[in-house]
């Protein structure tokens, strides 16, 4: 019979002495661990983000939907002060995805999040997450996230409006099937669980401000692209130029020419590949579009990923 180890809990303060100095920076650098629990692709854009004279621990966005995300952390049981702060930050930032992390949720605070989820619009989501540290025998401590509050049928009701148009339904069906195929061919590339009724789908590229997207464009075009938007136009253009300096070898590795779009009249920059494609196409062509997009997103990730990290 196999010998099993004993699981023990570790005091959070042994690893993260201070919430602001230790835990929040760790979570920022390890946000994918939380993404796996939530089924989202959150990209952190700010730490200690300003809300009037106050500061929310982490601000970001969900790449799959474009919604603003805020995260408020505690290393002690939940309290009324942090609940008030959470609501203030939600309003101040117009956040649609709100996450409260604590080692222990008091019942009245869990009920408050449940009430907010039941009485706000479908595109508004409040999550309560309990964080613990555990180890087996003498192993390194490992973080364990547990959902204690979330919107009812979160994945079912993630759509941003109560009524989806027929075109929106077509987009949602397309991206849902696309996601199933993508996860089969490239596990771990995204944590998203369901397609949304929108013309585009995005995932992270391993560095804040960079993402891979595939989208239905105007005039019957369909794209896969690297999108660069750090929030700073000069930085975006600098990174774009560094990648453009490797244009020849990048296109050689991809096996195709790319459209290098500096977009001087916009803040962001883009590197893309295009083909004809419309959401109004028949099932066979839609399947071809999905397969084409998946093949090229995987290629983009393989070829651009290492270069993005090195910028």
Residues 221 and 145 in one domain: no
Residues 272 and 237 in one domain: yes
Residues 173 and 145 in one domain: no
Is residue 158 included in any domain, yes or no?
A: no
Q: What does the pLDDT look like over 49-91, one tens digit per residue?
A: 999 999 999 999 999 889 999 999 999 999 999 999 999 999 9
Is residue 157 included in any domain, yes or no?
A: no
**Backbone φ, ψ for residue 176 (5° rounding):** -65, -45
Give percent of the chain above pLDDT 90.
Answer: 82
Integer angstrom CA distances of residue 125 from 56, 76, 154, 308: 17, 23, 8, 32
**Stated pTM of the model:** 0.79
Q: What does the pLDDT look like over 101-120, one tens digit per residue?
A: 999 999 999 999 999 998 98
Q: What does the pLDDT look like over 164-188, one tens digit per residue?
A: 788 989 999 999 999 999 999 999 8
Range of the domain at 185: 166-310
Residues 193 and 138 in one domain: no
Give CA angle at 173 (44, 119), nearest 5°: 60
Q: Which of 110, 56, 58 is nearest to 85 (CA)?
A: 56
pLDDT for res 47: 94
Average confidence (pLDDT) over 146-152: 91
pLDDT band of 159, cuts 50, 70, 90:
very low
Give 139-172 as a DSSP string: SPPEEEEEEEE--TTTTTT-SSSSS--HHHHHHH
The tokens of 199 are what? 């013309």
Cβ–Cβ under 8 Å, residues 78 and 103: no
**Number of domains, the chain:** 2
């Amino acid at each position: 019979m196999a010998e099993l180890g004993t699981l023990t809990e570790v005091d959070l303060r042994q690893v993260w002495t201070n919430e602001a100095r230790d835990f929040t920076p760790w979570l920022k650098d390890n946000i994918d661990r939380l993404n796996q629990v939530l089924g989202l692709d959150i990209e952190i854009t700010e730490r200690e983000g300003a809300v009037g004279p106050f500061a929310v621990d982490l601000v970001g966005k969900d790449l799959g939907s474009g919604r603003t995300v805020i995260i408020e952390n505690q290393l002690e049981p939940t309290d009324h002060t942090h609940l008030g702060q959470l609501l203030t930050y939600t309003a101040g930032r117009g956040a649609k995805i709100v996450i409260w992390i604590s080692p222990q949720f008091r019942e009245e605070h869990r009920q408050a999040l449940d009430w907010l989820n039941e009485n706000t619009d479908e595109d508004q989501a409040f999550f309560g997450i309990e964080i613990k540290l555990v180890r087996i025998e003498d192993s390194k401590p490992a973080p364990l996230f547990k959902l204690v509050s979330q919107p009812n049928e979160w994945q079912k009701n993630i759509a941003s409006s109560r009524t989806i148009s027929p075109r929106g339904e077509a987009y949602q069906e397309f991206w849902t099937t696309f996601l199933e195929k993508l996860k089969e061919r490239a596990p771990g590339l995204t944590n998203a669980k369901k397609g949304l009724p929108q013309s585009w789908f995005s995932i992270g590229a391993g560095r804040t401000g960079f993402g891979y997207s595939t989208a239905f464009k105007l005039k019957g075009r369909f794209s896969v692209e690297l999108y660069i938007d750090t929030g700073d136009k000069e930085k975006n253009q600098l990174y774009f130029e560094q990648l453009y300096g490797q244009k020849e070898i990048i296109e050689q590795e991809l096996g195709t020419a790319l459209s290098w779009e500096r977009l001087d009249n916009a803040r962001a920059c883009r590197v893309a590949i295009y083909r004809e494609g419309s959401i109004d196409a028949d099932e066979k062509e839609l399947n071809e579009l999905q397969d084409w997009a998946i093949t090229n997103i995987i290629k983009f990730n393989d070829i651009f990923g290492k270069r993005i990290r090195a910028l």
